[in-house]
Amino acid sequence: CPFVVAEHGGAGRRERSGGLDRMHTMQQQRRLLRSMAAASGASSRITLRSMATLSLPQPPCSPLPRSSPSFPLPRARSSLWSKQGRCMIILPEKKKRGGGAYVEAPYEIAEPTKESEKFAQKCGEKKVKKLSQPGSNFAFLNRPKANHALDLSMIRELKKIYLETKLSPTIDLVMVTGGNETAFCAGGDVKALAQQGIQPMGNKAPQMKFFKEEYKLNYLIANMAPKISVAYVDGWCMGGGVGISIHNQYRLCGEDVIWAMPETALGFFPDVGGSWFLPRLKQNVGIYLALTGKRINTIETCALGITTHFIDNCHIGLLQERMDSTSRFVSTEAFDLMLDVYMRDVEHKIIPPTGEDRISPHLPVIEKIFGMNKIDDIKSALEDVRGSGNEHAAWAEETLTLLKAASPTSLDVTLEQMKRGLACEDLLECLKMEYRMARRFLANPDFFEGVRSVLVDKDRNPKWAPRATPEQVNEYFEPLTSEPELDG
């Protein structure tokens, strides 16, 4: 049976956990941490013993000095470094689902609450905080009141961080993450875009500056090789948040992901490279997600290949400490070695034991129905499935409800977007197409009505414009004549 013994100086104080690797209360844990940190002299020591001790392989890298700052990822807890350089990390699992996680490693003394307060003070009003280590850059989204929704200043700051990583001969890795347990990034700040008003074609649309720089950031993230790009996603990840995560080489996810491309319900379309990655998901499931805006959870993002690795919430702090103590990531193989300790590799079908996969059982039906070429045919097929009373009937009912809430024009344009995106040769071609689409949606009242009904008044009762004709749908993809295109 695993056990923990904590010895405090010559007094030989012992805390036994009754066979479990955890302290009974957070108050006891903090009291013990403070007493250990306050101890002085060579007699103070921490000894951790456990039959479930983690064995950490050492990749080809060198440790940082103990004074290097910690990157406070969500749910991470600070560690304690004794005079002998031994360290205890205590990570109580969320909702008391089991015990804490412990590991010994050299690090610095820090009080969890004080560290988080200090970090918040350092961030101040900065919406993106960069923390640099030798060999790596970390981008920390810091707009919690808006669930880290992206505005133009955040996009520019992220671009600086990624570009610095790409051009530096000494920085090997860049990682982006959200700043709290609720959200990674809830999308672009579409409320701010809608407040600038409808923009008829021929007028200069101020919102296009946002889309131009956002799409260029998406392209930069997708072309970071040979540098290593990582996103850690937990909580809300929607729209623009998908754009700054999906194009990274490594897409790590926590236990509480809520992922969606909900643009059709806003009178818009799934952009940020959605034309590239959505139609390339298996069995037309990307087209289903694009049209319905269906929200999916952690296990579903793993099963569909949207994320590449799953990490238990209780292990994120351990990964943080390991990344902090690594000065060079000489190859993806070295980083893979590090991930193997803490992660569940989605590619090898080690799926997280959290949530329920409500998508995979319907994949054969999704593949058939969402392979059709017209929205009317898709709805008709869904109504047939709903009326059949089989195991897919409830799913078909839900899907029809989601389609009913969307803008009719957005549905037609998005379906055409998926077809054209699948024919594009690369991401840049898709982003250029989406830039044209975005400009024309700004001339369409549906986007502004969708934002009003969902995000402003929140009455969920949009008054959509009449459905576009097939000729009008094709116009969304035509080159811009009186305005500049997206350049490479």
pLDDT tens-place string over residues 56-79: 333 333 333 333 334 444 443 333
- Would you give the distance in Å from CA 60 to the centre of its chain? 28
Burial readout 358-380 (b: 16 or more C-beta within 10 A, e: otherwise): ebeebbebbeebbebeebeebbe
Residue-level pLDDT at 322: 82
Q: Is 184 helix (H, G, I), strand (E, B) or coil?
A: strand
Give every residue of the chain whose pLDDT is below 70, as ranges: 1-124, 343-354
- Distances from the Cα of 235 to the Cαs of 80, 198, 297, 304, 403, in angstroms? 28, 32, 9, 18, 24
Nearby residues of 394 by Cβ (< 8 Å), 6 or more positions away: none
Pairing mode of beta strands 79-81, 87-89: antiparallel
Residue-level pLDDT at 13: 33
Pairing mode of beta strands 183-185, 236-238: parallel
Residue at 441: amino acid letter? F
Listed as own residue / partner, the contacts of 378-381 with beta carbons closer than 8 Å and 24 or more positions apart are 378/291, 378/403, 378/415, 379/403
pLDDT averaged over every residue in the chain: 78
Q: Is 220 exposed, middle or buried (0-12, 13-18, 19+ CB in 10 A)?
A: middle
Residues annotated catalytic, as ranges: 188, 240, 263, 271
- Would you give the distance in Å from CA 449 to the centre of its chain? 28
Residue-level pLDDT at 325: 77
Nearby residues of 196 by Cβ (< 8 Å), 6 or more positions away: 206, 207
